Amino acid sequence: MGGREGRDIGAYELAVAMEDLGAGEILLNCIDEDGQGNGFDHELVGLVSDAVKIPVIASSGAGCPRHFVDVFSSTNCSAALAAGIFHRGEVDISEVKADMRENAIPTRT
């Protein structure tokens, strides 16, 4: 349950199947990185974002502004999100946007 039980289908196969069934985007949550603050799972995000044509949103693992720059620089994800680091006041959203701008990664104003 909740990503903690193994299944016979992997993230790659599931993403391709969901796209084939008409999904408009994929919110990709890596349960192993959730709440860890070590950065997004680039291997998983890259695998899935390269496998499908629909947008992939990277989720789970962000701990600092640089983690957003890193996931956009090393994968083809369309978006990335975080919650805990903002809710706990560890990082301000403006810091993430500034770091992304400094690295020529577009962001909403």
pLDDT score of 7: 74
Three-class DSSP category at 74: helix
Report pTM.
0.87
pLDDT tens per residue across all 109 residues of the chain:
455 676 788 889 999 999 999 999 999 988 766 766 678 999 999 999 999 999 999 998 899 999 999 999 999 999 999 998 999 999 999 999 999 999 999 998 7
Residue 10: which of 28, 25, 24 has the closest Cα?
28
Q: Do 43 and 10 contact (CB within 8 A), yes or no?
A: no
- What is the full DSSP assignment across 36-80? T-S---HHHHHHHHHH-SS-EEEES---SHHHHHHHHHHS--SEE
pLDDT score of 24: 97
